[in-house]
Amino acid sequence: MFAYVVKRLISGVLVVTLVSMAIFLLFWYGPSSPAQPICDRETSNRCTQAKLAVYEKTLGYDNPVYEEYGKFVKGIFIDRTLTIASSEYECTAPCLGVSFRTKQPVKEELISRMPATFSIAIGGAFLYLLFGVPIGVAAARRRGSVADKALVSSFLFISSIPYYLFALLTWLYLTITFEIPLFSDTGYFSPISEGPWKWFSGLLLAWVALGIFGCTQYTRFTRGAMVEALSEDYIRTAKSKGLPARTIVYKHGLRAALVPVVTIFGIDFGTLLAGTIFTERIFEIQGIGWWSLEAVYGKDLPVVMATALFSAVVLITANLLVDIVYSILDPRVRLS
């Protein structure tokens, strides 16, 4: 187990390195200079080639790409002094740079937006499992019945709708058309300064949209895995021994059926933690996803780099945890 975890961590470091290099090169050799947005803002859209050259020099874009990438990697471990326009900024390690738009340290902005994204991810993932797994188990136990066919058909219909459209319609109908008071004020509010109820009510609609849409696929995954598990020989042996139906289904069948569900859930949860762009944008939640979208539009290289690295680290960690849990749920699996 230990050797496997070490190997996965080493491969994870390599993946994060490749991601950072790819983002760096895409911006460096892109069709327009990353210094162009800064020059436009600082000169009130009167940026000339001479002024652009000055900004490129202060940002280091006149240096070789490997030299500037080396400075970025070095800043992960030691403090740096960064120059943007005519101002200098102290960036403490791990230094992810200073935002070209806000002139704030990227690390501090990333940390400040984590609670919003984590709140969405945890609430949405909880509803995935709370509704998806029990409904899937119930459908598998009643395989072929009218209720089973109705559930499968309705969930297939919901999952065929693009998520951004589903979330947008949810927001429009529940907040604008029906004006439900509980959903009137969406967004992230700190549970410490605004209170737990304000935090809960602000995120509830986003959780509902994520939960309903996400539980459809978990219902189908669970149902398929349960149907397969309940047809295994050991289930028939348990039935012949006279074990109660609940014991057979939930102790023996569900444990085997959860293995593929946990695998998918780990990746989905990691993706949610990395930032839910559509959810945050539609429900006006200032999280990592919305922040990364603004950074792409504004060609804010330090923010794009930070969000890409954060996403890579989260997904790699999620994959590793899934493999470990997989081996616990299924004793036949051995990590090597």
84-122 pLDDT, tens digit each:
777 888 889 889 988 988 888 999 999 999 999 999 999
The confidence score (pLDDT) of residue 329 equals 67
Quick check: 336 pLDDT over 60?
no
Report how far residue 279's alpha carbon sits from residue 164's, in angstroms, rounded to the nearest whole number: 8
pTM of the model: 0.86
The confidence score (pLDDT) of residue 102 equals 87
The least confident of 131-140, 309-318, 319-328 is: 319-328
Q: What is the average pLDDT value for the chain, to the nearest integer?
A: 87
36-74 pLDDT, tens digit each:
888 888 887 888 888 888 888 888 888 888 898 998 899
250-295 pLDDT, tens digit each:
888 888 888 888 888 888 888 888 768 889 999 999 999 999 999 9
Q: Find the Cα–Cα–Cα–Cα dihedral 7, 9, 11, 15, rounded to 10°.
A: 170
The confidence score (pLDDT) of residue 19 equals 87
Burial class (CB in 10 A: 0-12, 13-18, 19+), 134: middle
The confidence score (pLDDT) of residue 248 equals 87
Report how far residue 323's alpha carbon sits from residue 263's, in angstroms, rounded to the nearest whole number: 8
Q: What percent of the chain has pLDDT over 70?
A: 97
Q: Which domains does the chain have, with CATH numbers?
A: 32-95 (no CATH), 111-329 (1.10.3720.10)
